[in-house]
Structure 1
Amino acid sequence: MGALLELVCVGLFSAAFWTLWTVVQRVFGKSHLDNIPGPRSQSFATGNLGQYLARNGWAYQQWLHNEYGPVVKLNGMFGTKVLYVYDPVALSNIVVKDQYTYEEPQEFLHTMHLMLGDGLLATIGEQHRKQRKMLNPVFSINHMRHMTPIFYEISRKLREAIGRRIKGGQEEMDILDWMARTALEVVGQAGLGCSFDPLINDSADQYGQAIKAIAPTIGPLRLARMLLPLVMNIGSPKLRGWLFRLIPNKSIQRACEISDLLDEHSQRIFNEKKEAMEKGDNAVLHQIGEGKDILSKLSKPPIQVSYVRDIGKQRLIVQANMTASEEDRLPDKELLGQMSTFIFAGMETTSGALAHILQLLSENPDVQHKLRAELLEAYGDADEIPYDQLVELPYLDAVCRETMRLCVFLPFLFREARKDIVMPLSAPLRGVDGTLMHEILVPKDTKVLLGLHACNCNPALWGLDAAEWKPERWLAPLPETLTDAHIPGVYSHLMSFLGGGRACIGFKFSQLEMKVVLATLLSSFTFAPSQRKIVWNVGGIQYPTVGLSSAKAEVPMKIGFVKTT
């Protein structure tokens, strides 16, 4: 044991020395980025990032945009240089044309691997492309159509649960908690074919609680995450896990606990799914989701086409994997990684988006009334709005698009240049020395901060009212400045779901879920703002609190029944 610890210490020391030497070179060496305008550093430890990433950093970000525009040199941690961009041509090169040069920083990949396993968020290169190729069919429009009944069934349970709690005509509730529980149950049934939260009984699965704890746990690890590349290069996964558990840090210990719990539950669910698949149709039909979930579709052994048609979505992930060629098939550990990744990504962002939409509707009763009228007309005497009609409702679509434009739940992302590369710009940039630059040489290892929220709210593209929430803008032709800019986002001229090979694979799933939940709730309830002020905080994922001093994520609002005549 002594020899092993000595070897580990030598490895850590060598890696730390090499990292320190690299940082010294970046800080004191000359860089092509030095000619790009930007603010002075406010701290050697955090540079400008401490201001940009602060939970109340919206004002600083707006100042940055007004003062410097879409290309800025920021100071990163310990004197390193960060290139901040929301120029559309630069973004197009980063996320599409040169996406395999601009990749996720190693500390992000290692964090995702530690927390979620070998899912899409933790892989790059050929491994990532192989995973997306396998998963793409299960997120197709045709597949979403088959999933709609599951979404409606869960939404009706949500409606019943909220309705039971309304006393005296109106009740104040935390709508974020209800949306998080609903989103978790949707991705549980549609993604894994299991139930995390029955909604009615106020109970939640331990697995679901662990998923909810991921984002709050990762935040405090921002500095510790820089050390992950050092540890991840040491020995076997088992040895690395043992080393992590020796670190006397509460956040790291909590991260390890969550990782162990997710792995344990994912393995149990996965084994149950494979066992049901081997038993055939009847066993699958008796599971939650009746075999329509994504996991089932990746686990299913070769089957008849009629079986695929009848069973639906959950089986897609498993089935697609088992029927794939040997070279395309995913190992079980990667399927397990997809499970945790899909649950985490689907719950955090969609629940926040739904809560934000309902908050905005509560603050804009005219919009709420107009949207409810459209939905009630679409329902008629039916219990559900058919998929094809639901997704085409113009005002519902406008409300969703406008909220996703203004309220980006991943407001920024980091990338890292794997080699020296030239970044073109949509407009020339005047350098510190007065010269006009039409392109920028980005040195290898440069951190690039993508301003996704800034791109979505850029007045040069969207007009002077870019900062306003106006669903009606989607009911008229969009500005030519926007359409001519060729924003590289996968969804409606927006960067909300990113673009290129790392675009959100589940954005159609998320859009359908939001529309089903809104259609169900707005046809039955009215929403009015609470007297408490809601603040949306800057973060890797935006989160709402009552005021800036609170640490609890919540969106209280008053809910009542729709009056019928």
Structure 2
Amino acid sequence: MGFPSRTVLAVSLAAGYLASSGKLLPWVSLGFVSAFAAAWAVQFFAWAVWVVLVYPKFFSPLRHLPQPDGGSWLLGQFPKISRMPMGAPALEWINTIPNYGLIRYLGLFNQERLLIASPKALAEVLVTKNYDFKKSDEFRHFLGRLLGIGLLLAEGDEHKKQRKSLMPAFAFRHIKELYPVFWDKARESVQVITDKILSGTATDQKGTGVIEVGSFASRVALDIIGVAALGRDFGALKDPSNELNQSYMTLFEPSREPRILIALSMLIPLRLFTALPLKRNIEISNASRFVRSTCAALISEKKQKLVGKERVDIDILSVALESGGFADENLVDQLMTFLAAGHETTASSMTWAIYLLAKHTDVQARLRAEIRQNLPPITGNSAISSTEIDSLPYLNAVCNEVLRYFSPVASTSRVTACDTSIQGQFVPKGTPIFLAPWAVNKSVAIWGSDAGEFNPERWMPKFDGDKRAASGGATTNYAFLTFLHGPRSCIGQSFAKAEFACLLAAWVGRFSFELHNEADRDESKIDIKGGITSKPAHGMHVQTTLLDGW
């Protein structure tokens, strides 16, 4: 419920004029500025009391919904939300508060939020009524600085148009053609890590060293998205100091800034806050400007190739240009979205995958055995096909379980674009709606009593024709929220899963991973922060041993 600034301004101006002219209160002598300030202050105070104390407590149509106990009388659940990893409070609430699909909680200054908790409620928000819910202007502005206003942030008819134009680039057949690209880069990343270990800069003993997983994962993912999406090898694996890699390290530095800024946006316009000459704002602006100029240069190169009737590449940019559905500036936004979201989510997935395998060494050993038995040695020059990767049941089970257990995007939000309803409950226009993959993916009501356990076995068939294995044993598609569902589902889902499988196969086949810090075995003690994705604030360091024989 935003501050009605225009109405308040008009009333204050009128009050200032009438008071200063003596027509409002003839016996009171006030100048225009004093009268204006007084009128504005009185209205602001009345609005604040209504919004913070009266409406949410006594008049909101959502006040009777299930909600968490406790919280501050003024700040709601914000203190808890701000100190916990993104998605963690939602996970607690979804498993402890009896509900029929909606959980109401109060944010900063008692602003109402709705957490969507059941498959039926998710189906309404994501599919049957999906265009009743949009990303808030504040959310779009914040992410737009990092991603550009591409497909991820487009709304309504514009979103439909962009998605339709981009669908050919993410078609099933096209993704299959990219597996060799994924594997070549995976092999290169293995060699880079090997050189790092053997060089002695990360070595504790011969063939063993400590590496920070996130750095290598981010660099290889950036190179993959560069080749597969733009037709350009950025060389981040070979040169981690290159400007593009450094720009993304700046943009995605783990912090709690996103939640704090969105929370404060009800008091301070986010556009004003992000325009202030603060160090972080300047860093983001400079990094974003460089990424945008890089994308624009790549588009220019590709267009020249098309004009010259050179061979058309299979990367996403070439397909998008051929579609003719994008102006150059909008295509820049699309490339920024693919570059940022595409490589950052894969880097997060790889980071958590290696952590979980280092923690569950039995799963790691079984996965390695399957990889070495069915894939050609990574030290050779053999290429692989999509069939070889897709036919490894335990590899795909592990990938699915990692994506379930640690969804790269812990939480995302919407706001109601109009008065609507969810599960029969009236929801007013402007109500913030939260979707939390970290919570839904571990909901005991949906997944059963072992929802909080890392168990790839749930994705393995128990008998011939076991169809439940394809959904991890869950009885609904909405149990797995990592890529969302419906018209706003992740267009790059197949791309991301194929890339993830290739990288994980290469790394696990060649290296053995152990926790470097035993304290990390307790997940609750890992400091998790993030913006677009959630990841360890101080990196994930693991002891890595080079294995022979593959």
Alignment TM-score, normalising by the size of structure 2: 0.81
- Aligned partners of 2:90, 2:527: CA distance in 1, in Å? 14
- Aligned partners of 2:179, 2:244: CA distance in 1, in Å? 24
- C-alpha distance after superposition, 1:158-195 (max 9, x if no partner): 11111112230211111111111000110011111222
- The CA deviation at 1:320 is 2.1
Q: Which runs of 5+ in 2 are unaligned?
A: 13-39, 199-205, 521-525
Matched, 1:216 2:201: no
Which stretch has the larger CA shift, 516-525 or 210-219?
Answer: 210-219
What SS class does the counterpart of residue 435 from structure 2 fall into? strand
- The CA deviation at 1:55 is 3.8
- Aligned partners of 1:216, 1:198: CA distance in 2, in Å? 17
What SS class does the counterpart of residue 330 from structure 1 fall into? coil
Partner residue, 1:177? 215
Partner residue, 1:116? 147
Quickly say closer, same or farther: Cα 1:184–1:244, change in 2 above 3 A. Answer: same
Which stretch has the larger CA shift, 24-33 or 500-509?
Answer: 24-33
- The CA deviation at 1:56 is 4.4
Quickly say closer, same or farther: Cα 1:522–1:448, change in 2 above 3 A. Answer: same
Q: Which of 473, 494, 497 pairs up with 1:508?
A: 494
Partner residue, 1:412? 411
- C-alpha distance after superposition, 1:85-114 (max 9, x if no partner): 211111110011111001111211122333
What SS class does the counterpart of residue 465 from structure 1 fall into? coil
Quickly say closer, same or farther: Cα 1:394–1:98, change in 2 above 3 A. Answer: same
Matched, 1:537 2:536: no
Matched, 1:203 2:240: yes
Partner residue, 1:69? 98
- The CA deviation at 1:275 is 1.7
- Aligned partners of 1:130, 1:15: CA distance in 2, in Å? 42
Contact 1:217 1:255 in 2 (8 A): no
- Aligned partners of 2:11, 2:249: CA distance in 1, in Å? 33
Give the alignment's Cα RMSD to 1 decimal: 3.3
- Aligned partners of 1:11, 1:271: CA distance in 2, in Å? 47
- Aligned partners of 1:270, 1:331: CA distance in 2, in Å? 11
Partner residue, 2:202? none
Partner residue, 1:395? 394
Matched, 1:487 2:477: yes
Matched, 1:87 2:118: yes
Q: Which of 97, 100, 113 pairs up with 2:128?
A: 97
Contact 1:294 1:317 in 2 (8 A): yes
Quickly say closer, same or farther: Cα 1:224–1:56, change in 2 above 3 A. Answer: closer
- The CA deviation at 1:410 is 1.4
**Correspondence list, 1:139-538, <5 A:** 139-167=170-198, 168-200=206-238, 202-216=239-253, 219-225=256-262, 247-281=276-310, 291-295=313-317, 315-321=318-324, 329-380=325-376, 383-424=382-423, 439-475=424-460, 476=462, 477=466, 478=468, 486-488=476-478, 493-531=479-517, 533-534=519-520, 535=526, 537=528
Question: How many pairs are equivalent?
Answer: 491
Matched, 1:127 2:158: yes
- The CA deviation at 1:12 is 12
Contact 2:420 2:427 in 1 (8 A): yes
Contact 1:40 1:75 in 2 (8 A): no
Contact 2:222 2:236 in 1 (8 A): no
- Aligned partners of 1:86, 1:68: CA distance in 2, in Å? 10
What SS class does the counterpart of residue 448 from structure 1 fall into? strand
- The CA deviation at 1:365 is 2.0
Aligned partner letter, 2:476:
H
- The CA deviation at 1:495 is 0.3
Which stretch has the larger CA shift, 23-32 or 388-397?
Answer: 23-32
Quickly say closer, same or farther: Cα 1:83–1:245, change in 2 above 3 A. Answer: closer
Report sequence identity in percent: 27
What SS class does the counterpart of residue 130 from structure 2 fall into? coil
Q: Which runs of 5+ in 1 are unaligned?
A: 1-8, 234-239, 285-290, 296-314, 322-328, 425-438, 546-550
Aligned partner letter, 2:291:
L
- The CA deviation at 1:421 is 1.5
Quickly say closer, same or farther: Cα 1:486–1:544, change in 2 above 3 A. Answer: closer
- The CA deviation at 1:542 is 4.6
Q: Which of 47, 64, 71 pairs up with 1:35?
A: 64
- The CA deviation at 1:218 is 7.8
- Aligned partners of 1:139, 1:526: CA distance in 2, in Å? 33
- The CA deviation at 1:538 is 5.2
- C-alpha distance after superposition, 1:197-246 (max 9, x if no partner): 3523x33432232233223388425444568799999xxxxxx8xx7786
Alignment TM-score, normalising by the size of structure 1: 0.79
Quickly say closer, same or farther: Cα 1:392–1:100, change in 2 above 3 A. Answer: same
Contact 2:87 2:438 in 1 (8 A): no
Contact 1:207 1:261 in 2 (8 A): yes
Partner residue, 2:26? none
- The CA deviation at 1:524 is 1.8
What SS class does the counterpart of residue 114 from structure 1 fall into? helix
